[in-house]
Structure 1
Amino acid sequence: MNDDLQVGTDPAEVGMDPARLARVDDRLSRYVDDGQLPGFLVTVARHGRLVHVGRGGFRDVEAGLPVETGTRWRIFSMTKPVTSVAAMMLYEEGAFQLTDPIARWLPEFAETRVYVAGSAMKPVTSPQVEPIRVRHLLTHTAGLTYGFHHAHPVDAMYRAMGHEWGTPPGADSAEVCRQWASVPLVFQPGSEWNYGVSTDVLGRLVEVVSGQPLDEFFEQRIFAPLGMRDTSFGLRNGDDVPSLARLYGAVPGQPGGAATGYAPLDAMGEAAHHKPAFLSGGGGLVSTAGDYLRFVEMLRRGGSYDGGRLLGPRTLAHMVTNHLPGNQDLETFGRPLFAETPLRGVGFGLGFSMVIDPVRYGVVSSVGDYSWGGAASTAFYVDPVEDLTVSFYTQLLPSSTLPIRNYLRQLVNQAIVT
């Protein structure tokens, strides 16, 4: 695959119909034409061969700057799979076991209490029955949460400390972990699934275990071996700011209705113009479609790309297996909160969601199709059955605004003809 995302394969050579693939762009372009999406870029590859790159709209609507193949995107929670891979690289070196309590390296979590009842101002708590273990961070079963959920008293405690869509100014990963450890867990570790800051804490664990800041570990151990030259925590010195797409937020319509458009979120978006104090393993990276495609192809190929092997195939297979007890889906075992995947018919492994029941999921898909997405509506998935990777980029918060992730699967899968 080329860095500039030049399609070099006729889709028919890998069993895909080019006329049917055009439906992907047609549907996404309607969102742009209807004023619901500023712009987009989508990639489709099968058997490791790039067969489709679609783009439309603008990376900056007000400035009239179009989406380009080299456009940089805030990938937010698509950072999480990178951090999960980093942790499992250390696991493969014998640095820890998945069952190890994280307090061995992050002692601030040893005495974190667990919410039982009460308000954010006067919570009733109990001690941990089960310690937070490494696997709890990887599976989002640690009892940690996000301030932006607005669903639980502990969420409000996060917001009161400055943790909603960001973190307190100047606080690094060690400090934010101390802050999160000072408030109760939402539930006993391992007892439920809740989307939260678990992968940020995992990023801190990577730092402590490896002895390196997270950006250095990523650069030396992941980005350099994969040839990912345009991925970093925020823009680097010398990076062209206009190459970074502008961040937009959906403008709500009538109560309970669909969004009616979008507006710039410059105060939030400008945080990515420079390297932040907090290197968020859960959401801090800026990347390009070409770079992230290398990472996704590494996953599809069982842990290596262009000679750079990060993981063994068995480790990766373990990561993309459903780890929820009894093969439950997220709707059954998890809390019905905002997340980067539909919940029905979908399980969760070590850093990835995966389709475990396509009928219950309600979308044409393969069992074992694994994925994740980001808060600004970016997404990717890998279909091991069809030997397929798909990635999508835009900059629209929140990711629940439009059902793009479901449309991607149905429109790409209908284009597979052999």
Structure 2
Amino acid sequence: MQGMDKTRLENLKQWQQRYVDERKYAGSSLLINRGGVEQYFHAAGRRNLEDNLDFTRDTLVRIYSMTKPVTSVALMMLAEKGLFHLDAPVSDFIPEFSQMQALVPGASSIEQTEPSRSPTLHELLTHTGGLSYPFNPGILSQAMDREQLMFKPNQGDLGKMVSHLASYPLAFQPGSRWEYSVGIDVLGRVVEIVSGQTLAEFFETEIFQPLGMTETGFRVPRQAGNRFASLYTPLSGDAMALNSAQTGGESLRLTDLYGGSPFETADMMSGGGGLVGTLDDYMLFAEMLRQRGRGKDGFILSPKTVDFMMQNHLPGDIASMGPQSFAEQPMEGMGFGLGGAVVLDPARARCAGSVGDFSWGGMASTFFWVDPKLDLSVVFFTQLSPSSSYPARAELKALVHGAILS
């Protein structure tokens, strides 16, 4: 069992079932590899409560922000070709970002701005570029919410949305703070401009095909039938409206169902949150990171590039950079690399982990991490938004680490 205790792994099944029994999650699936060898798989509950359909290994889910590491890999593949450097301003590729403004400290309206330089590619990769999300607190977020600057699957052309975004001021001067943002969506557009391909084409030819990820994309595959999971929320309103979140009665309120989901006809290629896929597909991506760029047919990135991505790129931990936003991870004891969080101090993060483990999650409570020290890859899928509803990720990491005896 590669140093993992079979009896202790059974605790994971009980945990998955408890979340189903308590109507926290409709269902879930979990896959653990160590040393490239499968150690654990289990699926519990339902992918669709309305039709009583089981959550299975080949269930398709919305991975939302687990798209961000894929886009970050795409950008680094182009950087490896010498087509740009990470300190290049994004305005070199998207001229609309040339004459930027930023909100002044303490601004009370969107008009209170001062001149700003264009964010760099590196700042967009690390969420220090001054962009935000509609569900964050703050003036820019409120303006983005009014204009629906969310990069949803049915919001049309990526280039037009990015241009619209560039007409708004930044929330702060680039490099001065950390705020979870649509920066990776902007970088998805940079990938398109530099490569001459759509983001979907680049992902398919350069990442998905080489890794064998046959059921991941911006649209639910036509052959998927009813394998696409329903999305639920414990909130009484919009499942993404964290600023006005209210729980209300039903803990598993349906918000998106196969047969009429925008993910089935998506026309927006969101590099920050647009992909759907299967558990085994994402494990292929996680295993590529664990193997430092190696896929089934060779390297898609060099080991040195993957090492670079999985280092902390902030001056300290996320908490030291004054974040005021939602995030998919703890902020104390956690740094940020290119596409995901990096554990700096498990004790300060108050969550089981190894120094250097690399992870990220999605708004529908999906999660993955790669632990180079333990030679471990873990992918967890469920479909409940928002991901902040329950402390499932910390519990999961404690359970997995509790099963490792050597």
Shorter-chain TM-score range: over 0.9
Within 1, Cα distance between the matches of 2:33 and 2:273?
25
* Correspondence for 2:240: none
Contact 2:232–2:252 (Cα < 8 Å) also in 1 = yes
Out of 132, 141, 147, the residue aligned to residue 155 of structure 1 is 141
Q: 1:256 to 1:282 in 2, by over 3 A?
A: closer
Query: What pairs up with 1:21-60 in 2 under 5 angstroms?
Result: 21-60=9-48
Which digits, 9 at most, give the CA deviation of each residue in 1:153-211, with x for residues without a partner? 111111121224737x5531111111110011001111111001000001000000001
1:79 aligned partner, one-letter code: T
* Correspondence for 1:133: 120
Within 1, Cα distance between the matches of 2:381 and 2:197?
30
Aligned CA RMSD, in angstroms, stands at: 1.9
Which digits, 9 at most, give the CA deviation of each residue in 1:295-347, with x for residues without a partner? 0000000001212311111111111111111xx11122141321111111110
Contact 1:148–1:159 (Cα < 8 Å) also in 2 = yes
Query: What pairs up with 1:290-369 in 2 under 5 angstroms?
Result: 290-325=280-315, 328-369=316-357
Contact 1:231–1:285 (Cα < 8 Å) also in 2 = yes
The Cα shift of 1:260 comes to 6.2
Which digits, 9 at most, give the CA deviation of each residue in 1:99-123, with x for residues without a partner? 1111111111111210115444x52
1:74 aligned partner, one-letter code: R
Matched, 1:379 2:356: no
Out of 243, 246, 257, the residue aligned to residue 227 of structure 2 is 243
Q: 1:324 to 1:258 in 2, by over 3 A?
A: farther
Which digits, 9 at most, give the CA deviation of each residue in 1:17-48, with x for residues without a partner? 01101111211211110111100000111000
Question: Aligned pairs, how many?
Answer: 397
Query: What pairs up with 1:7-156 in 2 under 5 angstroms?
Result: 11=1, 14-116=2-104, 117-120=106-109, 122-128=110-116, 130-149=117-136, 151-156=137-142
Contact 1:241–1:273 (Cα < 8 Å) also in 2 = no
Contact 2:149–2:165 (Cα < 8 Å) also in 1 = no
Matched, 1:171 2:174: no
Within 1, Cα distance between the matches of 2:306 and 2:7?
34
Within 2, Cα distance between the matches of 1:267 and 1:23?
31
Within 1, Cα distance between the matches of 2:298 and 2:189?
24
Matched, 1:210 2:198: no
Q: 1:200 to 1:165 in 2, by over 3 A?
A: closer
Within 2, Cα distance between the matches of 1:357 and 1:305?
30
Query: What pairs up with 1:385-404 in 2 under 5 angstroms?
Result: 385-404=373-392
The Cα shift of 1:64 comes to 0.2
Within 1, Cα distance between the matches of 2:372 and 2:233?
33
Matched, 1:271 2:253: no
Within 2, Cα distance between the matches of 1:279 and 1:413?
36
Contact 1:148–1:165 (Cα < 8 Å) also in 2 = no
Within 2, Cα distance between the matches of 1:58 and 1:52?
19
- What residue ranges of structure 1 are gaps of 5+ in the alignment? 1-10
Give the TM-score taking structure 2 as reference length. Answer: 0.94
1:155 aligned partner, one-letter code: S
Q: 1:380 to 1:200 in 2, by over 3 A?
A: same
Matched residue SS, 2:389: coil
Matched residue SS, 2:44: strand
Within 1, Cα distance between the matches of 2:288 and 2:184?
20
Within 2, Cα distance between the matches of 1:241 and 1:283?
22
* Correspondence for 1:191: 176
Within 1, Cα distance between the matches of 2:102 and 2:66?
28
